[in-house]
Amino acid sequence: MTKVLGFFLKELSACNENKAKIDKEIHRANLDIEFVRKTKKKIISESDSTYDIFYANGSDISFITREISSLKKKEDELTDLIHVKSDKLVQLQNRINSIHEMVAECEKVNFKKDLLIPNVNTIQIQEAERQRIARDIHDSIVQKLAALVHKSEFAMRVIDTDSLRAKLELEVINKVVRECIDELRGIISNLRPMSLDDLGLEIALRRNVDQINKTTDMSIDLKYKINDTQDIEPIISVTVLRIVQELCSNAIKHSQGSNINIEVFSEDNKLNITFEDNGIGFSGFDDNRPLSDNNSGFGLPILKERVKQLDGYIKASRNKDNIGMRYDIQIPFHNEEK
């Protein structure tokens, strides 16, 4: 029976990974189509002025026609790719459904359900992180780099006939490259903030809060009450930082509130976090119960899993004024490796 369950787990893991990969490919293809259409529309809208520039200089403008034709071909290829990937996605989802049915049958003969849950949750968390990073890079940096290719090709074509236009294009290229560098630094910082390793948890938290206060209308107050002598394991530090970042992000996007109060303190050999906002809270939320996967769709189940892996506890409830949400998190300072 263990071998059969192991086979199902392996198949389910492979199917989930393939499904996430195909979803990402379809998402990327749709974004590429949107970019191609915008580029084609821009070329067509500017074709009259471009035609006048090249006609006045006695130059060949056939490259504009070739560029539009190339973009149309690219759009058709991407559309065909989406159709193929969508068909594969349907087949894969049918396979996943069949595996779940087989797992349900196994549970009827006392297969341990708990063996399945941690593996699936871990895969989901990993894939969610990978998709987020891939989306951040593709939606911003890759799109900008693709635009730079067109701009650099255009600058090379006009540099001999219209040096002023080429210079302006190069200035734009320089600006976009700098933006890409800044965005990459931001992504790297989000993956592993250097301040966390160099200066410690308190400084990392305060820098994160200061950045939010500067860039949003939300007012955040942070109270940090842990002595410098208290030993905090690196995995706990990064988990606490991720929890605060995620809860702040959720409150900013969804709470419709204006204030957040965060307190980080130690008690009974545990690191405690209390987080309160003055927003609208969750619709239909039940007070004073541990956070479950059904309380919210804002990524909180992933936070719950992070805390659970460190033998911690997280509870969500209405705040004391009953006008927002409160989160209470406890994480032991020392955890046995599992």
Per-residue pLDDT, averaged over 126-132, amounts to: 70
| Half-sphere exposure (Cβ direction) of 95: Cα atoms closer than 13 Å | 16
- pLDDT one-digit tens code per residue, 280-300: 876 444 444 444 443 433 356
* H or E segment and range at residue 318: strand 313-318
The reply to whether 219 falls in a domain is yes
- pLDDT one-digit tens code per residue, 211-268: 888 888 889 999 998 876 667 888 888 888 888 888 888 888 888 888 999 999 988 8
The reply to whether 103 falls in a domain is yes
Strand-pairing partners, residue 331, are 271
pLDDT band at 118 (very low <50, low <70, confident <90, very high): very low
The reply to whether 99 falls in a domain is yes
E strand map for 135-284: 219-225, 259-267, 270-277
Higher pLDDT, 67 or 47: 67
Report the predicted TM-score, pTM, of the whole model to 2 decimal places.
Answer: 0.48
Lowest-confidence segment of 147-156, 191-200, 220-229, 324-333 by average pLDDT: 191-200
Report CA-CA distances (Å) from 258 to 221, 254, 297, 319, 324.
11, 11, 21, 14, 11
Domain co-membership, 132 together with 199: no
Q: How many domains does the chain have?
A: 2
Range of the domain at 117: 2-137
Residue (of 325, 269, 264) closest to 300 by Cα position: 325
* CATH code where residue 200 lies: 3.30.565.10
The reply to whether 161 falls in a domain is no
pLDDT band at 204 (very low <50, low <70, confident <90, very high): confident
C-alpha 283, offset from chain centre: 25
- Go through 152-172 and write b for each residue having 16 or more CB atoms within 10 A of its CB, e for each that does not: eebbebbeeebeebbeebeee
Q: Where are the alpha helices (DSSP H) in 216-271?
A: 234-250
